[in-house]
A and B are shown apart, each in its own frame.
Chain A
Amino acid sequence: QSVLTQPPSVSGAPGQRVTISCTGSSSNIGAGYDVHWYQQLPGAAPKLLIYGNTNRPSGVPDRFSASKSGTSASLAITGLQAEDEADYYCQSYDSSLSGSVFGGGTKLTVL
């Protein structure tokens, strides 16, 4: 059972918009700690997609965006492409556990 809760799977057709939620609690996201997002392609290491709630590292397309509100955060992908098919993870800090915590991951399928 992950500290941060994500839907196990989401899907969308090419060109569509999908969102992935990440729900935490008052000891992590709700406490104001930053949320980060990673993309993990099949057989590869995770890659930083969004940091500090809304910031994209250099090279990440602006089709990827994220937001945070209260005890939750959300990743949005617009103009869905076949290459976006991957697992997506959120991450934050939990003050009760005094450490980094990850969501359980969401598998994105491009139909």
Chain B
Amino acid sequence: QLQLQESGPGLVKPSETLSLTCTVSGGSISRSNYYWGWIRQPPGKGLEWIGSIYYGGSTYYNPSLKSRVAVSVDTSKNQFSLKLSSVTAADTAVYYCGTHFWSGYPNHFDYWGQGTLVTVSS
């Protein structure tokens, strides 16, 4: 059974860079046809997909966040990471990592991490 766990600072100052890592256990991050992604949920609001990466390094991002987002993968550690730059209070959210099937386009997220709350505040 695949398990994902987010880790990183729970508090980030405005204008700084938010950095999170997702550690995958119970399976390999190098699974064919599956992407690894980040989703966020502001308090009391809905889900927003941020970006995804394939173990080979291919990435695609939400156009509304693309200028500030970078997702990377470390297959040796079975981890992938998120960096979101120039954060503001609007970036305060629970950040989830997950994995989704790819069939020429992204499909459902079948495994999710438990989520980690990141607050942007000075």
Contact = CB atoms under 8 A, between A and B. Distances in A.
A97 B49 CA distance: 11
B46 A99 contact: no
The contact size tier of chain A is: 20 to 34
Interface string B16-52: 0000000000000000000001010000001111001
A52 B107 contact: yes
A36 B100 CA distance: 11
A24 to B, nearest CB: 14
B47 A102 contact: yes
B107 A105 contact: no
Contacts, number: 63
A33 B107 CA distance: 9
A102 B48 CA distance: 7
Contacts of A46: 47, 96, 109, 112
Contact of A45 (B61, B96, B100): B96
A64 to B, nearest CB: 14
A46 B98 CA distance: 10
Interface in B89-107: 96, 100, 105-107
A52 B112 CA distance: 18
A102 B46 contact: yes
Interface in A61-111: 89, 91, 93, 95, 97-105
Contacts of A36: 107-109
Given A100-B37, A100-B106, 12 more contacts: A34-B107, A36-B108, A38-B109, A45-B114, A91-B108, A91-B109, A97-B62, A99-B49, A99-B61, A99-B63, A100-B52, A102-B39
11 contacts: A34-B108, A45-B115, A46-B109, A93-B105, A97-B62, A99-B60, A99-B106, A100-B37, A102-B47, A102-B49, A105-B47
